[in-house]
Amino acid sequence: MLLQLFLCSNIAYYPTMAIKIHKQDSKEKQTQAARQFHLIVLLGALCFAGAIYWQQSRYSTEYLEAYCQSKPQLSAALMANDPAPTIPPNIAEAAKMTILKEGDGATAYCGGHSYVFYRIFDLQGNTILSTPEDVPERIRLGSYNMIAGVEQQIVGMKEGEIRQILLEEEDIEGQWREQLKNLTFPIAADIQLETVIAPQKTPYIAIVKPGRGIKAKCGRGITISLRKQIEATEFQARPEFMTLTLGSNNVPLWITNAITGMRYQEIRLAIPPKGEEENQAVEITLLQVAN
């Protein structure tokens, strides 16, 4: 009888233990496999991100070196810090703007102050908003105190220049003035740049890699990366990332000047004009533009 009970208990006990051990082994194997999978995915993501960063840095550096070799005057300017003056890119759309009178004075720049005459009117000629005939308005370009569409057209104008532009509804967004409500679009504006306060020397600008799409405009939010010059054709390996309003005081005015008119993913080389405290050239990449 005792022998039978002993055999029966063993028959029931060993299969049960075997099942438990099998389940435990399976769980441990599954946990181990999951950990290995997550580790492989993480390593793969890190390798992929590193490859992209390396490729972009390598492409940018090689492109810049090739550009400098093909343009001896650029290498000389980098080494001597003596940039040739250039006019900043005009961000006006040709279809919406007509130059009525050419100017020959200092150039209005984003972030700078200017005295301006303007008259905004409907297509029947009725005045909507204007400055007094003999008193120009002082405007800080990039502050958004002026109608965005007008402000963006002033950038790049020369003293004495007169422009006539067309404005759509999106060009006056964010304006609180009563005169600008319930209008039928398009409307028009005449702009005369009277005086540029504290004219700035323009930096030397070279496009290293063309961009596409929307342009960086004065008063709009942007995200950029900056790499400062170390040697003649060598720049920092790790860029500085910045989000700012173009025309604000977050970066020197000459860098603002260089950014104006850039397109999404465009890379530019900018060399500061003489007299700037920071005399390093910078490589600028436009990463994002607010609509």
* Of the candidate ranges 44-48, 165-169, 278-282, the one whose mean pLDDT is the lowest: 44-48
User: What dihedral angle (degrees, nearest 10) is formed by the CA atoms of 211, 215, 217, 222?
Assistant: -60
Q: How far apart are CA 51 and CA 242, in angstroms?
A: 23
Nearest Cα neighbor of 107 from 285, 273, 280, 290 is: 273
For the chain, percent of residues with pLDDT exceeding 70: 67
- Identify the residue whose tokens are 């496009």: 207
Tokens 């060009």 sit on residue:
171
Q: Residue 179 half-sphere exposure, CB side, CA atoms within 13 Å?
A: 11
Gap between the Cα atoms of 140 and 159, Å rounded = 15
Distance of CA 130 to the CA centre of its chain: 32
Per-residue tokens: 62: 């090689």
Digit-coded pLDDT (tens) for 232-286? 667 888 899 999 989 887 888 889 989 998 999 999 999 888 777 667 889 999 9
Q: What is the mean pLDDT of residues 196-201?
A: 85
In whole angstroms, give the CA distance from residue 42 to residue 47. 9
Choice among 77-81, 109-113, 199-203, 208-212 with the minimum mean pLDDT: 77-81
Query: Please, what sign has the CA dihedral across residues 12, 16, 17, 19?
Result: positive
pLDDT in the model for residue 280 = 80
Q: Which domains does the chain have, with CATH numbers?
A: 72-86+202-289 (3.10.50.40), 94-196 (3.10.50.40)
pTM of the entire structure? 0.61
In which band, very low, low, confident or very high, does the pLDDT at 80 lie, cut at 50, 70 and 90? very low
Distance, CA of 107 to CA of 200 (rounded, Å): 8
Confidence of residue 143 (pLDDT cuts 50, 70, 90): confident
User: Can you say whether residue 19 is alpha, beta or left, with left for phi > 0 and alpha for psi between -120 and 50 degrees?
Assistant: alpha
Q: Which position has the token pair 């006056």? A: 172
142: left (phi over 0), alpha (psi -120 to 50) or beta: left
Neighbours of 200 (CB within 10 A): 21
Do 273 and 202 contact (CB within 8 A), yes or no?
Answer: yes
Q: Quote the CA–CA distance of 133 and 123 in Å, as a whole number.
A: 21
In the prediction, which pLDDT does 229 show? 85
Give the dihedral of Cα atoms 258, 259, 262, 266; nearest 10 deg: 90
Angstrom CA distances, 50 to 37, 117, 226, stand at 20, 53, 19
What separation in angstroms does the CA of 35 have from each of 29, 31, 38, 126, 200?
Answer: 10, 6, 5, 73, 59
Question: Rounded CA gap, 50 and 54, in Å?
Answer: 6
Mean pLDDT for the chain? 76
CA distance 191 to 114: 12
Q: Are 258 and 202 in contact (CB under 8 A)?
A: no
